[in-house]
């Protein structure tokens, strides 16, 4: 089950920023690095702020929010509102994929787009509806929560 979460390849942080037409600043680099380091995990702005300030204690919270806004509007980062009102952020390079949301710990995991491709084909066969992009959100309990960390 955990192996189904997609792992995105590491990308050069500066190249990511430059290809979006952005100037490379230490703040932007750091935020992209944190999102890359999160792997298939999706972070809220607060998660990003927490990780950034662990490395650089002087880092301003409003700077993190401003950088996330900029990265989102320039397409480097995708913002999802999944299973609640809190926005989650991930690097856009991940491609088409689905989301698994843990109802206990609220973590969001990516699921490879290929997992549900057959579903799109089946819907098309049965309904004649030409299926375009399939983006699915699945709620449940993650492996860590199921292993009884809560007791
Ligand atoms: Zn969980
Ligand atoms: Zn995702």
- 110 Cα: distance to centroid of ligand 2 (angstroms): 5
Q: Which ligand is nearest to the CA of 94?
A: 2
pLDDT digits (tens, 9 = 90+) for 59-109: 899 999 999 999 999 989 988 877 666 888 988 876 778 888 888 988 888
Q: In sequence order, what are the beta bridge partners of 109?
A: 41, 100
- 140 Cα: distance to centroid of ligand 1 (angstroms): 8
Which SS3 state, helix, strand or coil, does residue 91 take? strand
Nearest to 84 by CA among 136, 34, 137: 137
Q: Which ligand is nearest to the CA of 112?
A: 2
pLDDT digits (tens, 9 = 90+) for 89-103: 988 876 778 888 888
- 119 Cα: distance to centroid of ligand 1 (angstroms): 25
Predicted TM-score (pTM) of the model is 0.68
- 72 Cα: distance to centroid of ligand 1 (angstroms): 26
The DSSP bridge pattern shows strands 43-44 and 87-91 to be: antiparallel
């Amino acid at each position: 089950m955990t192996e189904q979460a997609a792992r995105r390849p590491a990308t050069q942080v500066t190249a990511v920023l430059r290809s979006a037409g952005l100037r490379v600043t230490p703040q932007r680099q750091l935020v992209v690095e944190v999102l890359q380091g999160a792997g298939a995990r999706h972070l809220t702005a607060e998660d990003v702020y927490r990780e950034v300030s662990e490395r650089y204690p002087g880092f301003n919270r409003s700077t993190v929010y401003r950088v996330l806004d900029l990265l989102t509007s320039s397409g480097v980062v995708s913002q999802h509102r999944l299973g609640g009102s809190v926005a989650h952020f991930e690097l856009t390079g991940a491609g088409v994929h689905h989301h698994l949301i843990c109802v206990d710990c609220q973590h969001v995991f990516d699921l490879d787009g290929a997992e549900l491709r057959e579903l799109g084909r089946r819907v098309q066969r049965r309904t004649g509806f030409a299926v375009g992009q399939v983006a699915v959100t699945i709620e449940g309990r993650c492996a860590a929560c199921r292993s009884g960390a809560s007791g």
